Amino acid sequence: MKVRHLTALLMIIFIVGYVAPAVATGLWASPADFRYNLKPGDSVSGEVTVRNIGKEEVSVNVTKKRLLMDSVNLVYSDRGIAQWITIEGNTTFRLKPGESRKIRFTVNAPGKINYLDAAGALVIRGVPVQNAATGQIQIVQGVELVVPIYVGLPGPIIESLKLEDHKAPTILLSFMPGSSPTNSKIQVQSRQT
């Protein structure tokens, strides 16, 4: 019985210790996302407000990224829509508790658009401002907010590859790679979109 109580107590301490620094370093962004419909060559501007809702002064850094995501992973890229986004003003600043700042940005759609480059984001990272302690190791926990910018692109999907020819056996004898010789051929053409 004592082991269960001790285990529960340790779990509570762990959870509070893990969550408390994140609450102390709190950032809030509004609106939570942006959705635009653009035609090639169009541009649009937007503004997001970032507020320090924590109890400490926070050093903030804002970057622009392309979002690549599936049901499990979120990956950032500096290509695609990230190159269409321009952030106005200083992208690194400090916010005291209760203080806020507006971040303005512009999305410029290029004349030739790759259909899949339609999900970008402003990535807002905040870490508490630390006093330099000599001779000590400090672990600093920060906050990262992702404010998506979705760009709807009208018109047909432009295929970047065209299947020109293919040859494969009518019946596959085995689904195991290398277990039986099969002669398959696929020929594609790149359309450079």
Contacts of 75 (CB under 8 A, 6+ apart): 67, 68, 69
What is the Cα–Cα distance from 145 to 27, expressed in whole angstroms?
8
Q: 141 falls in which pLDDT band (50, 70, 90)? A: confident
How many other C-beta atoms are found inside a 10 Å radius of the C-beta of residue 147?
A: 21
Residue 85 has pLDDT above 50, yes or no: yes
In sequence order, the 6+-apart residues with CB closer than 8 A to the CB of 18 are none
Q: In the prediction, which pLDDT does 43 show?
A: 93
Residue 46: pLDDT band (50, 70, 90) is: very high
Omega cis (within 30) before 31 = yes
The identity of residue 35, as a single letter, is R
Strand pairing of 143-152 and 74-77? unpaired
**pTM reported for the whole predicted model:** 0.65
The SS3 assignment for 18 reads helix
What mean pLDDT value characterizes the chain?
Answer: 78
Spatial distance between the Cα atoms of 78 and 189, rounded to a whole number of angstroms: 27
Reply yes or no on whether the pLDDT at 105 is more than 80. Answer: yes
The least confident of 29-33, 84-88, 123-127, 151-155 is 151-155
What average pLDDT does range 87-112 have in this prediction?
Answer: 93
Task: Give residue 39's pLDDT band: very low, low, confident or very high (50, 70, 90).
Answer: confident
pLDDT more than 90, % of the chain: 31
Mean predicted confidence (pLDDT) in 169-186: 60
When comparing pLDDT for 166 and 180, which is higher? 166
Predicted confidence at residue 81, as pLDDT, reads 87
29, 130, 51, 153: which is closest to 95 by C-alpha?
Answer: 51
Cross-strand partners of 37: 152
The mean per-residue pLDDT over the stretch 37-57 comes to 91
pLDDT-derived band at 37, boundaries 50, 70, 90: confident
- Domains of the chain in sequence order: 2-152 (2.60.40.10), 161-190 (no CATH)
